[in-house]
């Protein structure tokens, strides 16, 4: 059985914000001991669908890679963490098969041995960068421009900014109507194309990841709906 990945977005009531933030540290020992979980990252999120800055302290995210789908099934059915997700104000969960990409996440290739999926329908994209300290300011300014352009991109279903730190280790998770729509944004939108050039020429990144997935078997809601429902 091939590996699969999953993405989880969890919102707590505002009065639980301190607990939501604490869980970014407290859940680590439990995840370390989870059978079949081979890679994971606990993540903060940006405000709303803004990928250029700001933070939503009541919302967190998890990206995970599993030895097989049964391991994720068992986790969702028996884990205290998953049980808490189900009691949250809102949560959304999706399973992911790889349709390509490149790069590393803290020295690990999360796409290694992932089950290969179909690119015929909607796709999910994770872009992630570990930004050199000397590039934080330039990256921040460029991110605001790209965020504005992103929200005009045809075919974008939804997007959330995610990260392991408020600055420096940032990422996005986005959903697109098609692979063609995602590629059109990546390689045709002028601000994004210019940022890609600058990242190379000015050596902004110590590490980066660009990964595409087939999103399937989604459940729950994200801002009151399942963005993949009916697609």
Domain boundaries defined on the chain: 4-218
Q: What is the pLDDT of residue 219?
A: 97
Q: What is the pLDDT of residue 36?
A: 98
pLDDT at 12 over 80: yes
Q: CA dihedral defined by 57, 101, 92, 52, rounded to 10 degrees?
A: 30
pTM: 0.95
**157-174 mean pLDDT:** 88
Q: What is the pLDDT of residue 109?
A: 96
Decide which of 75 and 185 is more confident.
75
**89-99 mean pLDDT:** 97
Kindly report the CA angle at 118 between 113 and 121, in degrees rounded to 5? 140
Measuring CA to CA, which residue among 9, 78, 80, 66 is closest to residue 38? Answer: 66
Report pLDDT digits (tens) over 114-162: 999 999 999 999 999 999 999 888 888 888 888 888 899 999 999 999 9
Tokens 């109507």 correspond to 177
Average pLDDT of the chain is 92
Q: What is the pLDDT of residue 154?
A: 94
pLDDT at 108 over 90: yes
Model confidence at 186, in pLDDT bands (50, 70, 90)?
confident
Decide which of 195 and 181 is more confident.
181
pLDDT at 8 over 90: yes
Q: What is the pLDDT of residue 41?
A: 95
Architecture of domain 4-218: 2-Layer Sandwich (3.30)
- In whole angstroms, give the CA distance from residue 72 to residue 214: 17
Q: Kind and range of the H or E element at 103?
A: strand 90-103
Decide which of 87 and 22 is more confident.
87
User: In sequence order, what are the beta bridge partners of 62?
Assistant: 8, 42
Q: What is the pLDDT of residue 9?
A: 97
């Amino acid at each position: 059985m091939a590996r699969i990945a999953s993405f989880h977005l969890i919102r707590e009531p505002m009065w639980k914000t301190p607990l939501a933030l604490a869980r970014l540290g407290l859940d680590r020992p439990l995840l370390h001991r989870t059978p079949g979980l081979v890679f994971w990252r606990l993540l903060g999120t940006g405000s709303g669908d803004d990928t250029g800055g700001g933070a939503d302290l009541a919302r967190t995210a998890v990206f995970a890679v599993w030895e097989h789908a049964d391991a994720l099934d068992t986790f969702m059915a028996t884990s205290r963490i998953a049980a808490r997700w189900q009691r949250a104000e809102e949560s959304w969960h999706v399973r992911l098969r790889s349709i390509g990409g490149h790069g590393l996440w803290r020295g690990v290739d999360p796409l290694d041995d992932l089950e290969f999926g179909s690119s015929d329908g909607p796709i999910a994209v994770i872009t992630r960068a570990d930004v050199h300290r000397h590039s934080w300011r330039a990256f921040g300014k460029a991110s605001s421009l790209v965020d504005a352009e992103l929200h005009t991109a045809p075919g974008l279903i939804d997007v959330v900014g995610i990260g392991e730190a408020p600055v420096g280790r940032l990422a996005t998770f986005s959903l697109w109507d098609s692979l063609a729509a995602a590629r059109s944004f990546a390689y045709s939108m002028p601000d994004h194309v210019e940022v890609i050039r600058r990242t190379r020429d000015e050596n902004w990144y110590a590490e980066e990841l660009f990964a595409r997935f087939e999103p399937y078997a989604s459940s729950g809601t994200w801002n009151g709906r399942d963005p993949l429902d009916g697609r």
